[in-house]
């Protein structure tokens, strides 16, 4: 490895051996349990503790897109980008209290299974195929790209493809052990991620204090950031006026002030955390109380994440503005630029933290790909009619199908990213993910929220909602301004600096979701008052134990204090 010392390499090797060794130990232990092979591989049924579920959720969520993308947005916009993390904490409370009881009572193990149970086979198959394509060609590819770029930037750009292969192989090794191995190794991954992340930001703040002649003082460094970049410490961006600069307009297009809290910000988070296979999968094998505690623990950890992934970007901005980071090429280089300042040893820990985030996220997505393909496609459409559906041999065959699906998926991702065939480098990994998932999120979330809690929702409405949400997302993004102008009752479009006008993306999502809901409700009203496939709901499902209430109150109190401080 070029650019890092022998101590850095030693720390990284210790991290690798620790994770791999612990994963192997968990794998050997789980072979002796009585849980069925398929449920153990796909769900770790009943074997994950609440803290393992919470840690696994965070480890799978935080990846290169956050470290690189969110740090870059911290550089460009500031603390307002923390909304993605802090609103997620509230979304996780909603998921824990209202979504999980419905999923668990109805023995839902995959999201396509939910759609089949609640709607019909057509909706389930459409979404299973979509999720597979999304996970392979959007999520896996972009995470591999961003991760390889970030790590090779520290050890030498010539190692890009080597890093990509190593990340893929490491993630595949963890994945082949199944959901239980992923869940418990994620505890180590998230510990490394948090320790390495906090060490990085601590050192970044001491660098800032040193550069401004204040000695090695992290608190003084943080105060310096606020003094030097006060505009970077406001959660709510002001609506642009005719006198606003293009830079301020571009910031608002990314994070449209208070308006986003009434629109797409909730759709992004509730859809991601509540209707997303590779996220919900961590809790679907547990009992309700364990699942709730794990999800709420993840929500608490989300409050910490902006410190780790956003503050380095603001530090890079202040250093760059004052001539201490002259070689910085752009906001996506902000995190790597800060890591370049780290001393020997700490740099190895930071690389381990970044690797932990990437590998955990890749492993989580690979396991979800194998689960959806095996349970929702292969076993339904490709399994021979003469094959046994029960018994130990059938269980083992299902697991092997899942492992082959994971291997094929990561191989495809590496092939497509070897020469960047999808053009991720041109759009940026974070933008690439948001662009292609954002077109489907309004329709998917409308379909889930109505399916969970409104007994009248029909299968025809679900199909119409998927199509409507997709078409409306495209319409608001690409055609609304041309047809209706820059200013309407629904939106305000702003010059994008490229000769055109844009509506903020999160506003587009909000309106696409609203009109999709209208269409689905209208179609469902023409059907029976209670759909035969509706889920049975009762008040007992949603009752909370005192420990759960306490976790919710603490999270909301901290979140309120943060918004009061940085409004």
Residue owning tokens 């009061």: 564
User: From the CB of residue 500, how many other CB atoms can be counted at a distance below 10 Å?
Assistant: 10
Q: Shortest CA distance to 453 belongs to which of 200, 65, 5, 101?
A: 101
> pLDDT tens for residues 92-109?
999 999 998 988 888 887
Whether 56 has a pLDDT exceeding 70, the answer reads yes
Confidence label for 3 from pLDDT (cuts 50, 70 and 90): low
- Calculate the CA 234 to chain-centre distance: 23
Residue owning tokens 């134990």: 545
List, as one string, the DSSP characters of 435-463: HHHHTTHHHHHHHHHHHHH-TT--HHHHH
Question: Where do the H-state alpha helices sit in 4-120?
Answer: 6-30, 37-43, 50-61, 64, 71-76, 83-94, 100-105, 111-118
Interatomic CA distance for residues 510 and 463, integer angstroms: 19
Average pLDDT of the residues in 341-365? 78
Any idea what the Cα angle at residue 524 is, between residues 521 and 528, rounded to 5°? Answer: 145
Instruction: Please report the domains of the chain, with CATH numbers, ordered by start residue.
Output: 6-426 (1.20.1730.10)
Distances (CA, A) of 1 to 171, 337, 351: 20, 18, 12
> pLDDT tens for residues 408-450?
998 998 888 787 777 666 555 666 776 677 788 899 999 999 9
- Cβ contacts of residue 368 below 8 Å, gap of 6+? 131, 135, 277, 278, 281
The pLDDT assigned to 122 comes to: 86
Average pLDDT of the residues in 179-205? 73
In percent, how much of the chain has pLDDT > 70? 85
Output phi, psi for 526, to 5 deg: -85, -5
Q: Are 169 and 20 in contact (CB under 8 A)?
A: no
Whether 46 has a pLDDT exceeding 60, the answer reads no
Length reported for the chain: 567
Q: Are 516 and 469 in contact (CB under 8 A)?
A: yes
> pLDDT tens for residues 515-564?
999 999 999 999 888 888 888 888 888 899 999 999 999 999 999 999 99
Q: pTM here?
A: 0.81
Average pLDDT of the residues in 125-137? 85
Residue 560, helix vs strand vs coil = helix
> pLDDT tens for residues 310-320?
888 888 888 88
DSSP 492: B
Whether 382 has a pLDDT exceeding 80, the answer reads no
User: From the CB of residue 199, how many other CB atoms can be counted at a distance below 10 Å?
Assistant: 17
User: From the CB of residue 16, how many other CB atoms can be counted at a distance below 10 Å?
Assistant: 16
Distances (CA, A) of 550 to 73, 294, 539, 553, 556: 33, 14, 20, 5, 10
Tokens of 362: 């890749």
């Amino acid at each position: 490895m070029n650019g890092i010392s022998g101590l850095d390499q030693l720390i990284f090797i210790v991290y690798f051996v620790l994770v791999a060794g612990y994963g192997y130990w968990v794998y050997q232990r789980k072979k002796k349990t009585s849980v069925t092979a398929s449920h153990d591989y796909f769900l770790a049924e009943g074997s994950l503790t609440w803290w393992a579920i919470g840690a696994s959720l965070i480890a799978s969520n935080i990846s290169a897109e956050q470290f690189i993308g969110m740090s870059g947005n911290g550089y460009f916009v500031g603390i307002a980008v923390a909304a993605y993390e802090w609103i997620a904490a509230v979304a996780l409370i909603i998921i824990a209290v209202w979504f999980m009881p419905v999923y668990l009572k109805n023995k839902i193990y995959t999201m396509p299974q939910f759609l089949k149970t609640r709607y019909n086979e057509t909706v389930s198959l459409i979404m299973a195929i979509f999720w597979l394509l999304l996970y392979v060609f959007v999520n896996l590819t972009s995470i591999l790209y961003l991760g390889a770029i970030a790590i090779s930037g520290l050890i030498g750009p010539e190692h890009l493809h080597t890093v990509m292969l190593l990340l893929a192989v490491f993630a595949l090794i963890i994945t082949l052990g199944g959901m239980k191995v992923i869940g418990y190794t994620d505890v180590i991954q998230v510990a490394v991620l948090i320790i390495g992340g906090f060490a990085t930001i601590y050192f970044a703040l001491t660098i800032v204090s040193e550069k401004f002649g204040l000695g090695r003082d992290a608190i003084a460094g943080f105060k310096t950031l606020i003094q030097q970049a006060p505009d970077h410490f406001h959660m709510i961006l002001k609506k642009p006026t005719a006198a606003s600069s293009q830079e301020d307009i571009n910031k608002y297009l990314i994070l449209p002030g208070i308006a986003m809290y009434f629109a797409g910000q909730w759709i992004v988070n509730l859809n991601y955390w509540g209707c997303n296979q590779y996220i919900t999968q961590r809790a679907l094998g547990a009992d309700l109380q364990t699942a709730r505690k794990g999800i709420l623990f993840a929500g608490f950890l989300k409050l910490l994440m902006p410190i780790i992934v956003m503050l380095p970007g603001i530090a890079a901005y202040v250093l760059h503005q004052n001539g201490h980071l002259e070689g910085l090429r752009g906001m996506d280089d902000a995190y790597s630029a800060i890591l370049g300042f780290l001393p020997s040893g700490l740099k190895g820990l930071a690389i381990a933290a970044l690797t932990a985030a990437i590998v955990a996220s890749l492993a989580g997505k690979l396991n979800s790909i194998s689960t959806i393909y095996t349970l929702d496609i292969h076993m339904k459409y490709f399994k021979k009619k003469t094959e046994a559906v029960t018994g130990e041999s059938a269980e083992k065959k299902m697991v092997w199908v899942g492992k082959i699906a994971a291997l094929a998926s990561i191989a495809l991702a590496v092939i497509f990213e070897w020469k960047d065939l999808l053009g991720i480098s041109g759009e940026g990994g974070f933008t690439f993910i948001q662009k292609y998932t954002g077109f489907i999120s309004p329709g998917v979330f409308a379909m889930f929220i109505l399916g969970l809690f409104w007994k009248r929702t029909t299968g025809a409405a679900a199909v119409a909602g998927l199509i409507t949400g997709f078409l409306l997302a495209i319409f608001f993004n690409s055609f609304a301004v041309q047809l209706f102008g820059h200013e309407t009752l629904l939106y305000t479009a702003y010059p994008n600096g490229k000769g055109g006008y844009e509506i903020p993306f999160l506003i587009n999502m909000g309106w696409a979701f609203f009109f999709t809901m209208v269409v689905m409700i209208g179609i469902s009203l023409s059907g029976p008052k209670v759909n035969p496939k509706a889920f049975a709901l009762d008040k007992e499902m949603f009752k909370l134990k005192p420990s759960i209430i306490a976790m919710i109150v603490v999270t909301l109190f901290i979140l309120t204090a943060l918004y009061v401080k940085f409004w």
